[in-house]
Amino acid sequence: MSAFPRRRFLGVDFTPLPLDEAVGRIIARDPAAPFAFVVTPNAQHVVAARSGDDRFAGPQGAAWMVLNDSRILRLLSHGLFGFDMPVAPGSDVVARLFERGVPADATLTLIGGDAKVEATLRQRFGIRSVARFTPSFGFWRDPAEVEQCLAFVRAHPARYVFLIAGAPQSEELARRLSATPGVTGVGLCVGSALNFLTGRVRRAPVWMREAGLEWAWRLALNPRGHFRRVFIESAPILWIALIERLRTVRRPA
C-alpha cells in the first residue's frame, strides 16, 4: 500500500506528485525492499475504474504510487474543481528515470516488449543486465502462463521491473507480485513507454503533449487502433467530470 498521501479525484486515489519528485522517490527507494509498483492511469483507466472494473481499481488501490498520466485530467481538475492534479505521464517517468537513475550496472526485468527493445536498452543505454519474458497475446486468460510471468520475475530479481504487457494485465501482474513474498524492486506499469524511449514509436511533439493533445497524435498515427480507446473508452471522462462537479456544487456545505 502507498506510503504517500492520496487525493481522490473522479473515483481514483491519486498520488499527487509532480514528475521530478515522483522519479526522485523511485530512484531513492531501497532496491532490497519488498516489491512495490507504480501505475499511471490515464482517462481510459479512470473511466474503467470508476465503472467498477476491479482489473483497474484493484491494482490502483494496491499500488505504491498512482501517478496522473493525463493532461486532460489535470485540465479538468483545475478547470472544474479548482485544484491542480500534477501530471507525471508514464513515458516521461521512464525517460527521466533513465536520465537520472538507471546506471549501466542496474538490473532490469521486462515482462513484455521484444528483442529490439531489449537490444536498444543494452546498446543505447549500456544496460548490461536485462531479463525479458514476453507472454503470448491473451496470456491473461491462461493461469499457467500468468504463473510463468510471476515466476520469471521471482527468478530474475531486478531494481526495476517494467510491466509492459498491456493494461490491465500489467497492473494485475503487479498487484499479484506485490503480494508474493521475497519479490523486490519497483514495478513500473508504463504502457508503451519503452517503445518511445528506444525510438520504436515516435512520440508527439512537446507542444502537443503540453497542450493535452498527445491523444490526437496517437490517433493520427494509428486511427484504427486508437479510435475506440479515444472516443469510447476515454471520452466519457468529460461527462463523469461534469456530473461530479454538479454533485459537488449541490452538496451541502
| Model pLDDT, residue 68 | 97
Contact of 93 with 22, CB cutoff 8 Å: yes
Instruction: Tell me how far apart the alpha carbons of residues 16 and 84 are, in angstroms, rounded to a whole number.
Output: 9
| Model pLDDT, residue 228 | 86
Query: Which residue from 188, 218, 183 is spatially nearest to 201, judged by alpha carbons?
Result: 218
Alpha helices in 51-114 (DSSP H): 54-62, 71-81, 90-100
Query: Which residue from 21, 20, 55, 15 is spatially nearest to 38, judged by alpha carbons?
Result: 15
Count Cβ atoms within 10 A of the Cβ of residue 101 and give its class: 0-12 exposed, 13-18 middle, 19 or more buried.
Answer: middle
Residue corresponding to grid cell 531501497:
30
| Model pLDDT, residue 222 | 85
Query: Which residue from 17, 185, 188, 43 is spatially nearest to 112, judged by alpha carbons?
Result: 188
Residue 65 phi, psi (nearest 5)? -135, 140
Quickly count: other Cβ atoms within 10 Å of residue 202's Cβ: 10
* pTM greater than 0.75: yes
Quickly count: other Cβ atoms within 10 Å of residue 79's Cβ: 10
Q: Which residues of the chain have pLDDT under 50?
A: none
pLDDT in tens, 203-217: 888 888 888 888 888
Helix (H) or strand (E) holding 19: helix 19-28
SS3 content of the chain, % helix, strand, coil (to 5): 50, 15, 35
Contact of 153 with 147, CB cutoff 8 Å: no
**Overall size of the chain counted in residues:** 253
pLDDT in tens, 65-75: 999 999 999 99
| Model pLDDT, residue 136 | 92
| Model pLDDT, residue 236 | 93
